[in-house]
Amino acid sequence: MKSNSFRTLLIGVSIGIVLMGSFSMGRWSVKRDGSGGQIQQNQTILDEESVVTKVVEAATPSVVTVSISKTQVINSFPFGFDIFGDFFNIPKQNPETQLIEQDIGTGFIISQDGLIVTNKHVVFDTEAKYKVIIGKEEEVEVQNIYRDPVNDLAILKINKTGLTPVKLGDSDKLKVGQTVIAIGTALGEFRSTVTKGVISGLGRGIVASSGLLGSEKLDNVIQTDAAINPGNSGGPLFDSAGQVIGVNVAVSQAAQSIGFALPINIVKESIDIFNSTGQFERPYLGVTYAMITKESALLNEVPAGVYVQGIVAGSPAQKAGIKVGDIIFEIDGKNIVKENIVLATHVSKKKIGESVNLKIWRDKKEMEVKVVLEKKD
């Protein structure tokens, strides 16, 4: 039995910040005729409006909808099991199943031969089947899924050539206030939805959470007031030149007009690794952490830096002797706070087998720790 109802995955964040908006004003040109008497007013087409429509027209063929297909067992018993059947040993009947088919996210084409980028959380279910919808109606089955173990990214492979890939920009050159455009399948229902806004902030650190996948810390993300809805996850965030500068990943549940995107330069690194190895091979440290600001450090008489909240079992960090409660304030000779270093980004740029040298604060003493980085399974 088919059902078009499916619980769309939403990663939500709870933060308190001031919202930033954007607006545009029309321009009028005033021209006098030869006699000098008649005034002719002509409203020119807004430059910003023209830019947005051009970006949308050029980019839409490269944006796809990601759809899921999965058969689920329907539980018709109120307590989750058959009380009477189990008690009286009544033979069990074949369970009733339901086929779920639903648009759940967005992706964008990065190669002519069928590579598509989306969020890892969009395609997290390894038992489900996925397909992408190109244009209005063309459906293509996803053949392979490669999930990045470090970032919320996945690359989908479909058997189709002659596709139109997007152009990738440079997220290191972004500025607050720039116009950005998001395209995606809003609410898992409205395909090719376009929203516009500005970059409201850069280098944000957020904790994104989902009822299905738990929590994940995302560093150095882009904040925007362009409307990002459930179903937009994995979709592109364009600049006014039509280049992808981010991958839409999260939306705040606590306020309106607060969305987040992964910088495209992180994605480009992942794509380069994938193209050279055929899979995502990334080194990792194996800690969860929170930042200690200079103000908090002064109040508590500790160094500013990364406060270790958790250690992944069997990780390089655990093997090197790092403990919960340690404060990492220096990595490879660089002060983390003074030089604005994002720990996860610094580690991701290393190669598997390379090491990082950490200075940590433990029990009111400085310590040096060398950590050999390993591949994350």
**Which residues are catalytically annotated?**
121, 152, 233
Angle (CA) 67 72 78, round 5° = 135
How many Cα atoms within 13 Å fall on the side-chain side of residue 332? 12
Is the distance from CB of 155 to CB of 268 less than 8 angstroms?
no
Dist CA 92 CA 223 (whole Å): 53
Residue 364, sorted as left (phi over 0), alpha (psi -120 to 50) or beta, turns out to be left
Residue with tokens 């590579």: 115
3 state SS of 113: coil
Is the distance from CB of 165 to CB of 62 less than 8 angstroms?
yes
Identify which of 179, 206, 211, 182 has the alpha carbon closest to the alpha carbon of residue 194.
182
Between the alpha carbon of residue 374 and those of residues 142, 348, 350, 377, the distances in Å are 30, 11, 10, 9
